[in-house]
Structure 1
């Protein structure tokens, strides 16, 4: 009987300590919630590695919490965090909320972090110093991308599934104002090109491998400061050049593997005598 009493006593003591917050209770259940870790109330993917860590210490140290998940952290000479590489780790939306106090954070790589969803995007605009963000391989949708509006990001990488008409609109509203822009491989329609008017002051535009038609080029007329255009691997022809002929500010046009003809180019050159036109069939 004595061993049973001793065992019962140990269990009672452990339960009391858990209730007081001194230790996390051991839960060996197989079901895990990937979107909980920081408040200690639920399990995360790395629960078994974390369960011996004191809850108060974990909750109070954001960088320690991230590093526990294999995150690489870069600091400046004063020890302030300026870069976080979370690529291919099991961090969650809850971890992103802990980034708010990092007032010097400039770069955040969340590539292949599958537990990052739209809920996590809500926290990123609060990190006002953030300039470079990679979201490839995350689980965000177009709705999550919309939360990034006004962040003025210098670099933004998004999942392939978001390279759509609506995705482009949200993308352009999240990036910083720029004079040059390259639209490559996006699955957008003619209507999607209309979102380029978000780029106020755009002077150089390159479009390649995008499923647009002649009609879509009419959207470029809204870009009054456009000086240079490059079009490659597009299903456009002479009908599209009619729209470009109205861009009086244009001084350079490069057409590579499109459907334009020599006749169409001659007409365009006559309409834009000061524009240098290069064609590669």
Structure 2
């Protein structure tokens, strides 16, 4: 029987080989001396598989061990190079890259030192098929003349460069192009007309160009066009482009799409963010909207939402910032069965609208309701959406309490209604008037990995509720009234990796330092934590605090520090009962809790009003 990649033995062998390759690459890029040692063994590198050579090259680049002359070692093996955003890349680098015999893909996006003259080195490269020069502002028409001698280019990105309409006309000789990104360039109707020989183009990006409806009419010559971006243009109507599957007309005034004879386009993804529709039903009259699976109408000016009921294949719907309100939500309920993503942020939808959708969105995974009129009465409806993974309720009217069923006076935490959402992984509760006790139900949300809170009325008590969360990886408790004692008593969940305490103004540097000492595996974010400016790509705030603390201790203070450390270790050996939150005790020990942030700031600077005696 033939062995397939699905066999356990084969999978295990492939995983072992991957680990071995990773170890080899790690060892080979350990230091500059290591690189110099194997650099001399050029013959062995020539026999290296291209994937391994590319992994080695990019690891050297990541560790800042790659320099132009070292590129020569890889010229016979590497097929793909990604140098995006590397500020050191200039004409010298391209001089070496021009000798790469098998180079198929080169990404130089955001390499601001690359100019037109530097492109001369890659002229005539027979195997080069993909070239990205996006945002290389020094590339002009002269550089395009060099590219005209790269015969087999299939993908070219020159968005936001210095190329003019005259330079764009020079691209007509690149007849193998399938992907052409001219975003942000002054493409005129005349320039677009000169590209009619590029009959293989499938992806065309013209955002921010100067083409008009006359120029848009020329798009019909691209019979294989499947993706088109006309955002930020003056195009108001499109001819029938039957092959189109993706269309972006964001920030355009749209009157009609695909008007004309022939089969209607089966557009699957339509982006019209910030667009203006005088008559949305008329504009979409020639669109087979039953094929649309992804629709973005965020911040769009729309007169009616009746067309939504016909989006039978929709899975992604963004109506944020639109005029959507409760009286139009029924159109969403009609298509709720297929929805996976729904964004109603910054709309006029209230709890009533959420109730209409509930029961019709059993497969919904992401629901965004930030900056809406929803209150606590919407939470039980949300609890009826069993597949939810992401929920945003920031800046709503939710306070965390709701009347118990059958009672006019008894209040229960509203978040208890979400306890059956066993797939919920991310919850955003920022800028809400919720108090500590309202967070109690969250301790039983065992699937939650990301919780973001931002409130000026949360206190140490909230940390006690949140410490019981089993699987949380990111926890944000920003702008809260947390004290040093509260942070010291906080027992973080074992899975916690990021604790964001930004804006917690009562916390001192010493308190955060001590917390980082006890929990070195947690990335603490606060104004007292200074990001690492060194070579570390993922700086550890706890390490930063340790270094700062060590530098601040004078020689005379080492004995006291050692004594305190010894006493601390002795206390750890003793059996200490768990701390119980007592707000009265904290009020007695930290008088700052009696004041608001504004009052404390006034008191802080009031001493400058009185002369010292």
Q: TM-score, normalised by structure 2?
A: 0.28
- In structure 1, what is the Cα distance between the partners aligned to 2:324 and 2:392? 27
Structure 2 CA distance, aligned partners of 1:265 and 1:159?
A: 28
Flag the structure with more relative contact order, 1 or 2, with Cα contacts below 8 A and sequence separation at least 6.
Answer: 1
Are the equivalent residues in 2 in contact too, given 1:237–1:258 (CA < 8 A)? no
The corresponding residue for 1:91 is: 279
Deviation at 1:177, TM superposition (A): 2.9
Distance 1:143 1:92, change over 3 A: same
The 1:202/1:185 distance shift into structure 2, 3 A limit, reads same
Secondary structure at the aligned position of 1:230 is classed as strand
Q: Does 1:255 align with 2:439?
A: no
Within a 5 Å distance, the mapping from 1:222-241 to structure 2 comes to 222-241=420-439
**Residues 1:125 and 2:309 are matched in the alignment:** yes
- Superposition deviation, residue 196 in structure 1: 1.3
CA distance in structure 2 between the partners assigned to 1:157 and 1:250 by the alignment: 20
Query: 1:104 aligns to what?
Result: 291
User: 2:382, 2:371 → 1: CA distance?
Assistant: 15
Alignment of 1:32-111 (within 5 A): 70-73=255-258, 80-82=265-267, 83=270, 87-91=275-279, 95=282, 98=285, 103-106=290-293, 111=300
Unaligned runs of 5+ in 2: 1-238, 241-253, 402-413, 480-613
337, 362, 371: which one aligns with 1:185: 371
Q: Which moved more, 1:168-177 or 1:225-234?
A: 168-177
Shift of 1:138: 7.4
2:383 corresponds to which of 197, 208, 213: 197
Alignment CA distance shift 1:243-1:137 (3 Å): closer
Partner-residue secondary structure (3-state), 1:193: helix
Q: 1:89 to 1:228 in 2, by over 3 A?
A: closer
Q: How many residues align?
A: 206
- Give the 3-state SS of the residue equivalent to 2:387 in structure 1: coil
Q: Deviations over 1:144-195 (max 9, x none)?
A: 3213324234565669553211222345667683444443111111101222
Distance 1:90 1:164, change over 3 A: same
**1:113 counterpart (273, 298, 302):** 302
Higher alpha-carbon Rg: 2
Cα displacement string for residues 23-53 of structure 1 (whole angstroms, at most 9, x for unaligned residues): xxxxxxxxxxxxxxxxxxxxxxxxxxxxxxx
What is the match of residue 220 of structure 1? 418
TM-score by length of 1: 0.55
Residue 211 (structure 1) shift: 1.6
Q: Distance in 2 between the 1:92 and 1:275 partners?
A: 43
